[in-house]
Amino acid sequence: MLLSRYERMIARRYLLPGRGEAFIAIVAGISLGAVMLGVAALIVVMSVMNGFRAELFDKITGLNGHAVIQGYGGQLRDWRAIVEEARQTPGVTSATPLIEQPLFATFNGRAEAVLVRGMEVRDIRDNPVLDGKEVLGSLDQLTPGCECVGIGSRLADQLGASIGSSISIMNPLGSSTPFGTVPRIVKYRVATIFEVGIYDYDKAFVLMPMSQAQTLLLLGDAVGMVEIDTNDPDRVDQILAPLEKKIGDKGQLVDWRMMNSELFEALAVDRVVTATVLSLIILVAAFNILSSLIMLVRAKTRDIAILRTMGATRGSMLRIFITVGTTIGTMGIGAGLVLAAIFITFRQQVVSFIGLVTGQNIWDPQMRFLSELPAKTDPWEVFGVVVTAFILTFLATLIPAFRAAGTDPVQVLRYE
């Protein structure tokens, strides 16, 4: 919107109300602050929701793949042929055999439910989720001939175990004897303690070489499943459709949507609801701008009449008051962007400070799955928030602007 020199001058003066108009200035300031808080809150929450989903997706699929081929009865005997078929399927980037079984671990009288995962040594070392996540020790110490394991950091805390500790893992389905099934109990040395950042994994995972897991579970040469990664997880069902036909009755193909459908659907619904509710803050801010401009028009009715008698057109009045309102909104949007950037950058410190002040643990990993508050800002979402806020601000200026433009100078000056 192009303004003439005198229109810019008048708009600038109306943005800074004079004496006796402090209330108008306060309302305008509140309007600016409301836009700022609305924009900042929406961007921060959307970024946190995006980060939460991305972190969960990366870590869950990093440890469980985009899909798995599970053997019936927990055993997949023809796994080498299945791995080869999977690797030859277009769109598949990797196929990894593994064993995963819930068992029990004990140490110094403490017992915890654990999830034993057996992987080939090269797959352990090449896994991006585990890479560099060692708190103590090293994953390189997990070798086929070593009766040693890696455990999650929170599991280590719960058991009271550390590097070099000898923990016992019990397989209830042990050897059969004339007196019944005897549980199989094997001791392993803790070679490394890792922390992937997902609470449920860090409190339960026991990682060991494939051969050790096969011996513990009496599987022989069988594995439990084959984990598959693709180049496009959103198209995993289409990519793996040819493979599913080739597998036949050898195993069951389950993708990440089936394994975690409730979790990701809940996140999607929560994201939409939260964004809708927070958008109401911006709408309220737009109404604040509307009310402040209406008060400004009432306070400046005589000035408007004088300007009209001096030659100012209806279009000039319209442009002036639209400029005043959109300027307040634009300043609020800019301030909101800055506030959102500061909050996102220092989000963990903010969470810690709020927890310190309130005395509450507001980010409990047991409830949130992740150890730290994540954030991932989508530029297109930020653009959408800015455009939405600007449009609402612009629409809020139209009623008072048209009212100012429709002022009849003859009627006003007659009664003034």
Confidence (pLDDT) at 184: 79
Q: What distance in Å separates the CA atoms of residue 221 and residue 210, rounded to the nearest whole number?
A: 10
Q: What distance in Å separates the CA atoms of residue 100 and residue 201, rounded to the nearest whole number?
A: 13
Q: What distance in Å separates the CA atoms of residue 279 and residue 273, rounded to the nearest whole number?
A: 10
pTM value is 0.62
Confidence (pLDDT) at 343: 86
Confidence (pLDDT) at 24: 66
Confidence (pLDDT) at 338: 92
pLDDT digits (tens, 9 = 90+) for 365-414: 555 556 667 778 888 888 888 888 888 888 888 888 887 777 666 665 55
Q: Which ranges of the chain have pLDDT less than 50?
A: none
* Residues 289, 27 contacting (CB under 8 angstroms): no
Q: What distance in Å separates the CA atoms of residue 327 and residue 331, rounded to the nearest whole number?
A: 6
Q: What distance in Å separates the CA atoms of residue 373 and residue 347, rounded to the nearest whole number?
A: 7
Q: What distance in Å separates the CA atoms of residue 186 and residue 166, rounded to the nearest whole number?
A: 10
3-state secondary structure 310-356: CCCCHHHHHHHHHHHHHHHHHHHHHHHHHHHHHHHHCHHHHHHHHHH
pLDDT digits (tens, 9 = 90+) for 314-345: 777 778 778 888 888 888 889 889 998 888 88
Which amino acid is present at 101? Q
Confidence (pLDDT) at 410: 60
* Residues 160, 210 contacting (CB under 8 angstroms): no
Confidence (pLDDT) at 412: 57
Confidence (pLDDT) at 63: 66
Handedness of CA 260, 266, 270, 272 (dihedral sign): positive
Confidence (pLDDT) at 388: 85
